[in-house]
Structures are given as C-alpha cells and as structure tokens.
Amino acid sequence: MNLVIFGPPGAGKGTQSAKLVKEFNLFQLSTGDLLREEVSKKNDFGNKIEEIMKSGGLVSDEIINNLIENKISNPEYKNRIIFDGFPRNLDQAKSLDNLLKKYNQQISLALNLKVDNQILVKRITGRVTCSVCNKTFNIFFDPPKTCDLKDCGQRKLITRSDDNEDTIVKRLKTYDEKTFPVLDYYLKKGIMKNIDGMQDINAISDQLFTIIGAVRS
C-alpha cells in the first residue's frame, strides 16, 4: 500500500506522516530529505544539487524522479511508501504513476488534510522555539511555558525569519494554485480522502488510521 499525503504549510502533515509510518510500518519519502541525503554525500551529483538549492533555484523534475525511482525500485520499500511533499504538480503526479507502474505498484490512497487558511497563518506566525532545548510553542494555541531542560531559564524564544504573515500568505496561495490540479487528479481516480485538519492531533490520527485500515482489510 502506497500513500500520498497532502496539506498546506502548517496543516500538520509531517506530524501525521510520522504517526502513519509507525502505525503501518511505512517508509516516509520526502523529496527534501532525498535532496539533503544526496548533498551530504559530497560527490559531483550532490554538489550540483547543493548549488541549485543555494542559488534559490528549483531542482529539476528529472533529478527528483531519479531519486524517487531509486526508492521505488528498492524491494525493501515496495508498496509501503508514504509520499510526503510529492507530487507537487500534475506532471509529477503522472510521472509518479508511470514510475510505480514500472515496478508493479500504485497509489492506494491520497490523503488531504484540510485546514482554514486563517488558522494556518496563526499556527505558523505564532510558532516560537526555545533557544536552548529547541522545544516549539505557539503563542496562540500552545503558549510558551516551562521547557524540558533545567537550564532553559536563560532561554530566548526564537521566531523563524520566514514565519511572517506576508510570506505565509504567499506560500498558501502558491500551494493552492499548484496543488489543486493534483488533488483533482486523484479525486477523479476515486482514491482521494479529505480529512478535517482542524481537529486535535490524535483525532486526526484516528481518522487516518480508520481510513487506511479499511483499505488494507
């Protein structure tokens, strides 16, 4: 069973992916992780990717597809991949289908976490991190309190430079524009499931577990 999980920035996609990996013994395939893995190898291919990323450019679909094929073709991961952050556009979705077909696999479910944009903006702009233990809080939903370590008394609460409203609104707009055709693509295939991402984290997980469990049975 292969899955795709969608969700705009701040929807909790990473959190839920981690829970699904643990619950169903899946392999989480994140294009960001794949690129960082190649860069860490310090070879010619990795250096080329690093140059593109540092310049602010987009890594080509050809490179992404090659990295993904390396994982899809590995028998260890056959039919137990959750695609996180990919596909990002319609061409990538079609390429993924072709790659999976090549290795006698397919996408079983596409899961879409739906959250109102106003909530997403608060989730991201309200995010602060302890400078000592790196624990994350949210000034709107999870106000800063005592950290896990005793020496966090000298902490500073850090906000990421890109966690500002203007940047977030642009990211959400870009996500909506690029992702809608992909969601529609999977909807027409009859494998799209929308999940209320406004619920408590555990409630979202329970809903996901039920949907996936029904498909696996």
Cα 102 to Cα 1, 105, 190: the distances in Å are 16, 8, 21
The Cα 170–Cα 166 span in angstroms is: 6
Residue spans of the domains in the chain: they are 2-115+173-216
The Cα 133–Cα 24 span in angstroms is: 30
Strand order in the sheet with 127-130: 136-138, 127-130, 157-158
The Cα 152–Cα 154 span in angstroms is: 5
Amino acid at position 105, single letter: Q
Q: Give me 113's structure tokens.
A: 């976490």
Burial bucket for residue 34 (CB in 10 Å: 0-12, 13-18, 19+): buried
**Residue 210: its pLDDT value, please?**
95
**Residue 114: its pLDDT value, please?**
94
**Residue 198: its pLDDT value, please?**
92
DSSP reduced 3-state for 29 = strand
CA terminus-to-terminus distance, the chain: 11
Ranges of residues in the chain whose predicted pLDDT is under 70 = 56, 217
**Residue 2: its pLDDT value, please?**
96
**Residue 27: its pLDDT value, please?**
94
State the residue for tokens 């899809």: 72
pTM score of the predicted model = 0.81
- 2-115+173-216 placed in CATH 3.40.50.300: yes
Q: Given phi > 0 = left and psi -120 to 50 = alpha, else beta, which region is 48?
A: alpha
pLDDT digits (tens, 9 = 90+) for 4-21: 999 988 898 888 999 999
Cα 207 to Cα 11, 25, 81, 84, 196: the distances in Å are 15, 17, 19, 18, 9
**Residue 217: its pLDDT value, please?**
64
The Cα 150–Cα 128 span in angstroms is: 19
**Residue 94: its pLDDT value, please?**
94
User: Strand 107-114 to strand 192-196: parallel, antiparallel, or no bridges (unpaired)?
Assistant: parallel
Q: Give me 197's structure tokens.
A: 């991402």
Amino acid at position 45, single letter: F
